[in-house]
Amino acid sequence: MKLGQIIANALTAALVVWLLAIALLLFGRPLWPETKARMVILMPVDAMTTTSVEIDTHPNLPETFDVKLALPRPELQ
């Protein structure tokens, strides 16, 4: 091999490595997907938390509201 061919091959290899690094940085993930185990843990059913309860349809709000207690809206920047 001549010196020019050695230099050209080294620069080509460096260019391929550089392009691969740029592609990985742009896409933010590897080219092949990672294998991940997906596990779902099923909790035992608790009868007290799954029962239906009757609640008021109207919220319990005060009749009047003191505006002095309210904080001012923050300014947009």
Distance CA 65, CA 70 (A): 9
Contact indicator for 18, 12 with CB cutoff of 8 Å: no
Q: What is the mean pLDDT of residues 39-57?
A: 65
Residue 23, Ramachandran bin (φ over 0: left; ψ between -120 and 50: alpha; else beta): alpha
- Residue 24's contacts (CB-CB under 8 Å, 6 or more residues apart) are 30, 31
State residue 46's pLDDT score. Answer: 62
pLDDT, greater one: 31 or 20: 20
Please give the model's pTM, rounded to 2 decimal places.
Answer: 0.36
7 pLDDT more than 70: yes
Higher local confidence (pLDDT), 15 or 60: 15
Query: In which region does residue 12 sit, left (phi positive, over 0), alpha (psi from -120 to 50) or beta (all else)?
Result: alpha
Residue predicted with more confidence, 45 or 48 = 45
